[in-house]
Amino acid sequence: TKTDVVELLNSLANQYQVLAAEKGLDFQLNLPTTSQKTYGDRNMPTSYADRDLLQQAIHNLLDNAVKYTPSGGMVALTLEVKPRRILITVQDTGIGIPASDLPHIFDRFYRVDKARTRQTGGFGLGLAIAQQIIEAHNGKITVESKAGKGTKFQICLPLRSRSIVETRG
């Protein structure tokens, strides 16, 4: 199947804007400003990723960003379209992840601080599932984080090699 990534991110943003606001967080959606010009409004970037699965993966990242960012912070969802791939970034100004934990966070059931995070719930499965979904689409998911500063997860998905964009309709 094909997924209209802009439509998907808009729909996720609508949902998370509300959840973020309830927690006192600022939420930003950044779409490529050149998309109208470059692709035309009937040629928005689409990815050969299953919509429900891609939605689940991004949802898991946004859920974490909101969960692990204290009130007053910021969560941003960003799309960049490159010639052969799209980059979807979820960035927050939250508690961050210590460097020693970073290699393990995609492991099933891994949680950084069990005592502290027990109150926030969760099984430690969100990132393992997100990684599995993205890798099943020949993509990659990467993380950069600084404890106390914030975290940035990036999903990189290939677009079909020949045509970057698919014409709808």
Q: What does the binding site for ligand ATP look like in residue numbers (CB under 6 A)?
A: 60, 64-65, 68, 92, 94-97, 105, 110-112, 117, 122-128, 151
Q: Which residues pair with 140 in a beta bridge?
A: 156
Tell me which residue of 99, 20, 100, 8 sits closest to 58, measured CA to CA.
Answer: 8
Enumerate the H helices of 75-159 as residue ranges. Answer: 114-117, 126-136
Distance of alpha carbon 124 from alpha carbon 110, whole angstroms: 5
Residue 111 interacts, among ligand ATP, Mg ion, none and using kind-specific CB cut-offs from 5 to 8 Å, with: ligand ATP
Closer by beta carbon to Mg ion, 81 or else 105: 105
Enumerate the H helices of the chain as residue ranges. Answer: 5-22, 35-39, 51-67, 114-117, 126-136
Closer by beta carbon to Mg ion, 126 or else 150: 126
126 binds Mg ion (CB under 5 A): yes
Q: How far is the CB of 94 from ligand ATP (least distance, A)?
A: 5
139 binds Mg ion (CB under 5 A): no
Residue 73 interacts, among Mg ion, ligand ATP, none and using kind-specific CB cut-offs from 5 to 8 Å, with: none
Q: Which of 3, 46, 64, 89 binds Mg ion (CB under 5 A)?
A: 64
Interaction site with Mg ion (CB under 5 A): 64, 126
